[in-house]
Amino acid sequence: MHVRIDLMWQRLSFRTWLFLPLGLSFLAALAMGGVLLQAFATGQLADETEPGRRSARAVAVALNSTLRASDNPRRMLDAFVSSLGTSSDIQFRPLQAGPPPSMKEGLHEVHGVPRWFVDLIGIPDIEAASPVLIDDKPVGDIVFMPNLSADMFEKWIGFVALMSMIALLMLLTGTIAYLFATSTLGPLQNLGAGLTRIRRGDYTTPIPVAGPPEIRQACEEANALATTLAQLSQDNRNLLHRLVSVQDDERRDLARELHDELGPLLFSIRAGTIALSEGSPQAGHLGNSAQEVLRSIETLQSTNRRILDRLRPLYIAELGLEGSVQTLLGNFRRQAPHIGLTATIDPGINEIDGPLAQTIYRVIQEALTNVLRHAGARNVHVAAAISGDALAVEVSDDGGGFPADNVFGRGLTGMHERVRALSGSLALLRAEERTYVRCSLPLGEARDPVSG
């Protein structure tokens, strides 16, 4: 239960944390005022009316003495009653008049005093009744029935003044707390939003420095952290760019070796085998062996060309990026005729060259290789288009998707590093029974040379 209350309290906002205790304090002050009013008002009323009660008893004693000494006590009593009047707190109540009305019922009619306030105050037993005797027989009572309307109105005014002062203090405190919360929460919210931007990789938008000194210092430190992260991110991109350039250089050198050394050597072996086979037509067994060697050489040449295609994009400088991509798509159609391939290639990508063009080509190449090897797809679509200052590449298929714990394979991991080096993004996702490889690359930054 205690843990649940802590969790509920932690979910409340800062303003609730601030104003809830203030509201509870106000309610507690109201309750305490009611308790103190009920505790002290009763005793105060009893003390204030005690002289009147003693006077009523003294009047009764004097009246009884006078009536015993009078020759006509009834006449004397009537004269006394007439002398009292209706406004006096001391009254004569004949026996036949019955019990007097409750004093609290009369107080309910006090103008300007709410009924609940009258009920809240405990009216003490201040009625004093002293018997009046004629010939030792009771004929009525001298009663003390004070009019407490003025006292109740006075206490109501005092209660209203006290509650008004408490409410004013609470309002003033609440206003100060609200201004404090506003001046504090605004910079804190800006700090939180800035940290969220930093977590998402936006290091360029500074956090406004405002609020108390502690919060301003936190904002300044967060901005300094963003500057450091921006420099580290740039250094990381530069390093990745250099690594990619080194890899491209190594692949280009290896492709040149395979093309210039292994290619002619295989061609020479193939030519020699053909000559050997044609020069000894009567040697049947040797002719069969020569044919097997020729088939092996053709397989080696085909493998060599495929390796060259993987190591070096198909003459992007000569064909242009669009032409190289179209050649890549044509090779895929020949290699996988059972898979329906459609493509939407923006002719404007021919304006792209250098590392960006190679990265685009390799992303499409790697995505198609994954489709061919792992997807089990029947249809695949390739799209490449320039949109504003970015180029978007998407390869989608209707295959079985990818394992949940293995989003990027080795090939796409390498592509992801290449894309990061060019400040781009590469994502693999599953939606509507299709698998998507989506790549976005900024054109301007990708074309900028990296110093160092």
- Per residue in 1-27, pLDDT (tens digit) is 555 655 555 666 666 766 777 777 777
Question: In angstroms, rounded to a whole number, what is the distance separating the alpha carbons of residues 64 and 70?
Answer: 10
Is residue 394 pLDDT above 80, yes or no?
A: yes
- Give the per-residue pLDDT at 53: 77
Chain mean pLDDT for the chain: 75
Q: Do 442 and 389 touch, CB atoms closer than 8 A?
A: yes
Helix, coil or strand: residue 388: coil
Per-residue confidence band for 381, with pLDDT thresholds at 50, 70 and 90: very high
- Mean pLDDT, residues 227-237: 82
- Give the per-residue pLDDT at 117: 73
CATH number of 318-452: 3.30.565.10
Per-residue confidence band for 446, with pLDDT thresholds at 50, 70 and 90: very low
Q: Do 439 and 363 touch, CB atoms closer than 8 A?
A: yes
123 contact partners, CB below 8 Å, separation of at least 6: 42, 45, 103, 104, 107, 148
Beta partners for 396? 381, 436
Is residue 58 pLDDT above 50, yes or no?
A: yes
- Give the per-residue pLDDT at 136: 79
Q: Do 187 and 156 touch, CB atoms closer than 8 A?
A: no
What burial letters (b/e) apply to 381-404, b meaning 16+ CB within 10 Å?
bbbbeeeeebbbbbbbbbbebbee
Query: What are the angstrom distances between the C-alpha of 20 and each of 90, 182, 236?
Result: 53, 16, 49
Question: In angstroms, rounded to a whole number, what is the distance separating the alpha carbons of residues 371 and 398?
Answer: 9
Higher pLDDT, 210 or 247: 210
- Mean pLDDT, residues 226-235: 84
Is residue 250 pLDDT above 80, yes or no?
A: no
Beta partners for 342? 381
146: left (phi over 0), alpha (psi -120 to 50) or beta: beta
Higher pLDDT, 396 or 39: 396
Burial class (CB in 10 A: 0-12, 13-18, 19+), 446: buried
Domain ranges of the chain: 2-170, 318-452
